[in-house]
Chains A and B, each alone.
Chain A
């Protein structure tokens, strides 16, 4: 194991799932890495998320996002296997295919229409998905209730235990000599001597490169190094039930059973860009819809509810950029840090180390927010 670097090659700002995946990818490619993590006052979307590895319906308005999500879903098998090999932690990743259950004909029509429009765009014509009626949905998911009028299914969708992922990323990075520094909020980043001087109440750290993975904090940090990350919070609420016997192998976009048996109910906005069928749901609405989807949930006790803040860019898609004015400074920010973890570790981190972002993420520059939209 390498000694703790006094001056790392790369400083990663933010120690959530995004920062952890980037740091792991950097360290696996030989970089000396330090992670500066804010501490318990941080919003920590990584601890509040719904843990889908989701592809279906993503990319409306930006086909490259669908391709990028699918690529990560494909690479997730490799990430999960390497995490298990390096840390002994099984993050419970599976890709059994996911359903989007609809509770009215109107809802189903809107979703089907949106999917058709999405998959009519040129690069996405071979994305597999099916539209299922009640009977076929019931055949595949016997636990559904009579109010489910139909569903959309895609074999590309999966899920994971995101808390175990978080822990495995921490474990894997520390084992690779990454210098993880908790309680290290960053106040300023100053380009200096071809690198960066990063300061906070804890002192100063010099690094050759800096990667901003600070979630909502990126909005404040990015301008310090000539980057732009106009991200804003989008609140999501989650309900989790007591652990029960496995009855739901596949993830739904708003209901999933974890590997340990608890049932999570969320108001996922993974399909942002579509009509939001449920509007601004509150917990009771979420629970009511979930019980209509799976009537047996009515008999289960809720053990916890929480909310977390998604990290949303103006169009909902990730922002990946290298600074023009201060090369060596990068920003990596998205609201699907779990889905995209495989890409971040296996594709983006090596590119950051090499100094050039790949063509596959060129669409995700924040420059898209600065030019007038054209049709």
Chain B
């Protein structure tokens, strides 16, 4: 269940973008971890008061790490493993309907 951090480091790096910026992070990390290790401390704005939020609980409970991943909004960054080429964007307020299936 537990793995040495060194093993993760040995798995190499993945490339992704955040709001169009090319970034890299360790393979095996979650999207939330990838953002935090890149110094990104605001990944969304709340739907009612437009307040910036960062990943917080990192265990799927607080919903503060919501981001748009490959065009799908309101995804919990802490529960999604980073993959090569992932396109991650700030979740600006309410989820956009155009992202929802018609």
Chain A residues proximal to chain B, CB less than 8 Å: 242-245, 247, 260-261, 295-301
Contact = CB atoms under 8 A, between A and B. Distances in A.
A242 B99 contact: no
Interface of B: 47-48, 74, 93-97, 99-102
A226 B100 CA distance: 56
B100 A298 contact: yes
A247 B100 CA distance: 12
Interface of A is mostly: loop
Interface of B is mostly: loop
B94 A261 contact: yes
B48 A299 contact: no
Given A295-B102, A296-B102, A244 B96 contact: yes
B47 A300 contact: no
B94 A299 contact: no
The residue in B48, B100, B101 that gathers the most chain A C-beta atoms within 10 A of its C-beta is: B100
Contacts of A245: 94-97
Contacts of B94: 243-245, 261
A247 B95 CA distance: 12
Given A242-B74, A244-B100, A295-B102, A300 B48 contact: no
B47 A261 contact: yes
B97 to A, nearest CB: 5
A247 B96 CA distance: 10
B44 to A, nearest CB: 12
B69 to A, nearest CB: 13
A147 to B, nearest CB: 14
Given A243-B47, A260-B47, A296 B95 contact: no
Contact of A242 (B48, B95, B101, B102): B95
Nearest to B96: A245
Contacts of B74: 242, 301
A299 B99 contact: yes
The residue in A244, A261, A298 that gathers the most chain B C-beta atoms within 10 A of its C-beta is: A244
A300 B101 CA distance: 8
A247 B97 CA distance: 8
A16 B99 CA distance: 38
A252 to B, nearest CB: 17
A367 B74 CA distance: 54
Contacts of A260: 47-48
B94 to A, nearest CB: 5
B95 A243 contact: yes
A295 B74 CA distance: 19
A297 B101 CA distance: 8
A154 to B, nearest CB: 26
B62 to A, nearest CB: 13
A257 B95 CA distance: 13
A296 B47 contact: no
A296 B97 contact: yes
Pairs of residues from A and B, 9 with the lowest C-beta to C-beta distance, nearest first:
A299-B100, A299-B101, A243-B47, A261-B94, A243-B94, A244-B95, A245-B97, A296-B100, A242-B74
Contacts of B99: 299
